[in-house]
Amino acid sequence: MFRSLRRALGAAAAALLLPLAGVQAGVQAAHADTAAVVRSAAEAAAPGAGYWHTSGRQILDVAGQPVRIAGINWFGFETSNNAVHGLWARDYKSMIDQMKSLGYNTIRLPYSDDILKSGAVANSIDFSGGKNADLQGLTPLQIMDKLVAYAGQDGLKVVLDRHRPDAAGQSALWYTSAVPETTWITNLKALATRYKGNPTVIGIDLHNEPHDPACWGCGDTTRDWRLAAQRAGNAVLSVNSELLIFVEGVQTVDGVSGWWGGNLMGVAQYPVQLDVPNRVVYSAHDYATSVAQQSWFSDPSFPANMPGIWDKYWGYIFKQNIAPVWIGEFGTTLQSTVDQKWLAALVSYLRPTGTYGADSISWTFWSWNPNSGDTGGILKDDWTTVDTVKDGYLASVKAPGFPADPGGGDPGDPGDPGGGTAACTAAYTVSSDWGGGFNAEVKVTNSGTTALKSWKTTWTWPGSQKVTSMWNASYTQSGATVTATNADHNGSVAVGGSAAFGFGGAPGGGGAPTVTCTAT
C-alpha cells in the first residue's frame, strides 16, 4: 500500500530437483512396489524434493514432509530492465550462491507481462570480466530460465510473481485496458507450461497487491479478486497441475482496510476453490512505517497489539488450519525504533524454526535489492555487502534445506549430560569463478558426539587470493592464511548437523584448499 515510490525505484530454488523417474513400462508389480519403497526412502532423506502440495496449514513436499518457505524477493523482471537488478554490478550466479549461504531457500521473482512480448530485450547487464557470460544475447525469458536452473542447482526453490501488467507501474486490478484478463491468463499458462516438469518452480503468485477497487466476495466479476484468482488458478493448473497457486489478499474487506494485498479477511466466508485440491497458499504483505503510516503503529500498546492485527487480517487462516499462509513481502529500512520493534514482533509471530520446524508461516523478505526506495535490501548499495543487522532479524525463522526435524538432529544431542567429544570437519567449495573474482562456500559439519557451541575454520591459499567479503562468519586474514569463526546465530550445531558460510574473493582462479575445523 502507498508504495509507488518503492515501485518506481525498483518494483519487486535444491540441486536442480528433477522428477523421479517413473517405473518403466512392463516391469512387474512387485518390482514397482520395491521401486516405490526405494523412492520414498530417498525422498524422506531430502526434505523439499519434488513438487509441493498443501494439507491444512502446512505445505508438504512430494514425500509428505512439511516444508517452510524462507526466502527473498529479487526484483527487476517487472521493470524496464526486463531482468533482475544488480546484474550491472555482479554475476547472477554469485548472488544466488550468496542467497544460499545466508540461509534463504526460495527466491520470489517478480515479473511483468512485458517479458513475454515478442522482441522483449533485457538491458543493464555487465558482461565484463566474464560476468554473466552465459546471459549474452538471451531474451528475458531465457535469462529467467538461467536463473531458475542455477537456483535449482544451488538447492533453492522459485516462486514466479506476476507483479505488474507492464513495466510502467502497479495496477489495482489484475487487468488493464492494455493488458486484458485474457492476456494475463494466457501468459500465466505459458509460464506454467514453460516450467512444467521442473519442480524448482513450485508455484505462481497470480497478481501482486490487488487493491481498491478490488473486492473479495462481492460477486462483481470485474472487481472480485477471489473469483479472478479461481479463474486464473484453474487455468494454470489445467496445464501444470503440480504447481502451488499463491493468492494475495486485497486492500479492503467489509469496510476494513489494510496494506495492499494484505487483507485476507474474506477467506473465512469466501475461500478460493480450485479444480485441483490442496494447491492454494494464501499470501499477505505487511510493512512498517518506512513504507507508510498505519493506525496500529501509534497505538499505545504497540507492539503488543500487532499479533491481534495480524490474526484479524491473515493469521487466523493459519491458526484455524484453513490453509498455509505465506508473507510474500515484508520489509523496512529499520531506521526507526518503531520499525525495529515491528520486525522483531513479526518474526516472532512467524514462529521460530528451532521451536516449530516447518509448522510455521512461510515468508519471502522484501528485498534482496538495495535499490528498493522505502525499504532498502539485504544487500547494501555496493550490491555485495550484507546488511547483517537486517539479515540477523530473520535468523530464527530461516529454514535452509527445508528441515523436517525442527531441532536439526537428535533432540538428545544438545547438552548431552553424558559428555562427549566436540569435533568438526569443513568442506570448501568454489561456487562460481569469473576470472577477476570468485565465490566460495565452507560447510562445517559436527563430526563429534556432542553439540558444538562454536567453531573455527582455517585454510591457506597457494596464491594471492584475498577475502573481499564474508557472510555468516567473521574472519581475519594474515598473508595467505584465513581464519573464519562462526556468527552468533550459527555457532551451535547439533551432532551430525551442519552450518555454512560464504565469501567472495579476488582474484579468481583459486582452487579449493584444505580447511581445518576446530570446535571452540
DSSP per-residue string spanning 294-307 = -GGGG-TTTTTTHH
Cell of 254: 467489509
Helix (H) or strand (E) holding 9: helix 4-10
Residues facing 246 on adjacent strands: 205, 281
Q: Is the pLDDT of residue 20 over 90?
A: no
- List the catalytic residue out of 78, 242, 248, 329: 329
Considering Cα of 233, then 325, then 387, then 13, what sign does the dihedral take?
negative
**Looking at residue 411, what is its pLDDT?**
25
> What DSSP element (H or E) covers 238?
helix 225-239
Q: Of 411-420, 452-461, 495-504, which has the strongest mean pLDDT?
A: 452-461
Give me the pLDDT at residue 505, please.
86
- For residue 345, pLDDT over 90 is answered with yes
Catalytic residue among 209, 242, 248, 441: 209
Q: What is the mean pLDDT of residues 43-61?
A: 85
Q: Known catalytic residue: 209?
A: yes
**Residue 329 designated active-site:** yes
pLDDT tens across 366-400, in order? 999 999 999 999 999 999 999 999 999 999 999 85
How would you write 212-228 as a 3-class SS string?
Answer: CCCECCCCCCCCEHHHH
Q: What's residue 510's pLDDT? A: 66
Alpha helices by DSSP H, 49-139: 92-101
Q: How far apart are CA 52 and CA 63, in angstroms?
A: 9
204-218, 290-304, 400-414, 469-483: segment of lowest average pLDDT: 400-414
Q: Give the model confidence (pLDDT) of 96-147 as tens digits.
A: 999 999 999 999 999 999 999 999 999 999 999 999 999 999 999 999 999 9
14 in Cβ contact with 157 (< 8 Å): yes
- What pLDDT is attached to residue 462? 86
Give, in degrees to the nearest 5, the angle at Cα 391 between 73 and 453. 135
Does residue 34 surpass a pLDDT of 80? no
